[in-house]
Amino acid sequence: MGLKGLDRSKLLMLRRRSIHVMDADEQDILNYLKAWPKQYIAAREICRRAGGKRRFREDPFWANQPLLRLVEKNFLENDAAGYYRLKPDEKQAQQKRWVSPQIKQMLEESGKGFDGAFEVDESESENKPEL
């Protein structure tokens, strides 16, 4: 029958449900990068740490091809310097926070709508020193 017999909605549903097949190398890389979800890591460091010492001694550049495949599959994103990180979830990227619960309560009690008036820059919130 093929894909010609399917209407557009069924075809889109099939694309969404497509299973991403990964080999062991790609799985090792993803498992390593899960420990550093928001940080870019050099390809050389991934080669060194993700597969273990023996794997790195045998082939120091073993992760280069799997990294490129993971970028193509949209599991990873890379920058111009050759650093990689896990692609952030869209839900987490759109998540909004209040500065404090007290301010949220005061604004809600005022009865005015402040939706979209305040946006938090993620880079500022990540660089705060812990007390």
**Given this model, what pLDDT does residue 130 score?**
54
CB 37 within 8 A of CB 45: no
Domain limits, CATH 1.10.10.10, in the chain:
22-88
Q: Residue 123 pLDDT more than 90?
A: no
Please provide residue 29's backbone torsions phi and psi, each rounded to the nearest 5 degrees. Answer: -65, -45
Helix segments in 34-89, DSSP class H? 43-50, 53-58, 64-72
**Given this model, what pLDDT does residue 1 score?**
47
**Given this model, what pLDDT does residue 11 score?**
47
CATH code given to domain 22-88: 1.10.10.10
Residue 37 CA, chain-centre distance (Å), reads: 7
pTM higher than 0.85:
no
% of the chain surpassing 90 pLDDT: 40
Q: Residue 26 pLDDT more than 60?
A: yes
